[in-house]
Amino acid sequence: MNHPWLESYKTNNTPDFDTSSLSHFYNQPSHIWLDNQQLTNQAHDALDFISGSSKHGLDPTNYHFAILDKLDPSQDSLSAQQFDLLLTDGLLKLIHDLTVGQLQSTIADPDWFIPQASFDNIAFLQQALLSTHLKTELNSLIPTTSEYHKLTEVLARYQSFVGRGGWSEIPAMPLISPGDRHRHLSLVRKRLAFDDNVLVLSTKNNVQYYDPFLEQAVRHFQKKHGLKIDGIIGSETRKAMNISAQDRLQQIKVTLERHRWLPNNLGKRYLIINLANYKLKAINNGSEELAMRVIVGRKSRQTPSFTSQLNHLVFNPYWNVPRKLAKLDLLPKQQQDFNYFYQHDIRVFTIENGHRVEHDPYLINWQSITRSNFPYTLRQDPGDQNALGKLKFLFPNQWSIYLHDTSHRELFSETMRSISSGCIRVEDPVALANFSIAKPTSQQIITDMIDSKQNRGLKLTAPLSIYAVYITVWVDGDDVIFSPDVYQRDKRMAKLL
């Protein structure tokens, strides 16, 4: 440390700050933000930027704003030194938090395996201070994606809801259907009127009557909160209504933090899968070319957040049943029905002297087999029964996760689709294969491969980036959509924020 008062100042006078970062700016007694102990234009720009951090779900007090706002650097040299030091430190911290995130992703969310973005805040500020337009330089740090921008608008709206005191809790009540009357419907109306102007305008009389205007608002609410859209006010709908404005605000802040963890550039062509809202989108040069529903891991077998390169397609795949699933799921089914493996084209093997040996399932005493002494590996042949359907999409990862078709297409109509064993089932595998291959002859290749009924593979000439993320708040048109925190990952993060 070349500047002796910097180290002593940390010890005697200031809140916690990073002297190693500040040493890049204070190698000699001087001020960065003051001229004759008066604030420069750059100082005003820096203060405005810190003050505006609340627009991104960040707290200006974390960047010394409350102290800076009270300090008068013209008072004496010590106040001037304190002001200059705190402004530099606060701005460096904000630059880091805005570009990289406040929290270390692997600690805040142990199921997040996407490398956290990096940014050299010291080099940036050193260069930005040479500019005559510091405000422009600082504003360039704000993520430019439309999704992030829309979320900051939602954040402002919910900050205003919290400022108004939020909404009252709706007490327990029986199932309420359109046409019913109940005294608590007045509270339901007040809750929904926070972000439904049509309901406000229509509500003047009969506030305890469940009229068509209220039904429309309830259905809209259910759609926006990942609920079954039936217009019936049951326990799940009431539970979602009773999540406080403060908790919703925190959910938005968590979502903005997750966005800051992602790389600045996801690539020209990529797939992004939102595990929280069960959707896959295919992006090409910034435009959404494909969207479909997906099924992800159940709560006990969660699908992690990850990134990889999709590089291989398998048509008419075999299903090599994971050992855990074979013991926990399929063994009990075979024990209950000795025809189960035969009817579902499942073959039974052991490994003997390094070679795979097939066994007739009818000759095995399945009642004597338990989870602890299960000696077999199971494989399902290609065909209509196959759990992976007609297509499998492979990419390197440590969990042996892949995307795949399914023989149970009815499950995509379910509202809650966290029901798999960890892999991701896709609603339209043929369309996804077409996007992945990206050739004029893609559709014919896919048709020929599937119609062959043979197990065949295809290596992609251009691997496709894939991101699986857990984002519980997003914007769809004019609506903000909240997904239930099925995996409780937001709850874990919120405690740290």
Q: Which residues are catalytic?
A: 404, 423
Dihedral sign, Cα of residue 81, residue 84, residue 87, residue 88: negative
Q: What is the DSSP string of 452-463?
A: T-S-EEEEEEEE
Q: Which residues contact 256 (CB under 8 A, 6 or more apart)?
A: 56, 57, 148, 151, 152, 155
| Beta-ladder partners of 359 | 348
The amino acid present at 119, given as its one-letter code, is F
Tokens 């009642």 found at: 367
Q: Among 406, 408, 390, which Cα is nearest to 449's?
A: 390
Q: What is the DSSP letter of 354?
A: T
DSSP 3-state percent helix, strand, coil across the chain (nearest 5):
40, 20, 40
Task: Give CA 186 to chain center in angstroms.
Answer: 34
Rounded alpha-carbon distances, angstroms, from residue 309 to 106, 115, 457, 462: 21, 14, 16, 9
Cβ distance 92 to 125 under 8 Å? yes
| Angstrom distance (rounded) from CA 202 to CA 213 | 7
- Strand, helix or coil for residue 476: strand
* Rg of the chain over all Cα atoms, to the nearest angstrom: 29
Length of the chain: 497
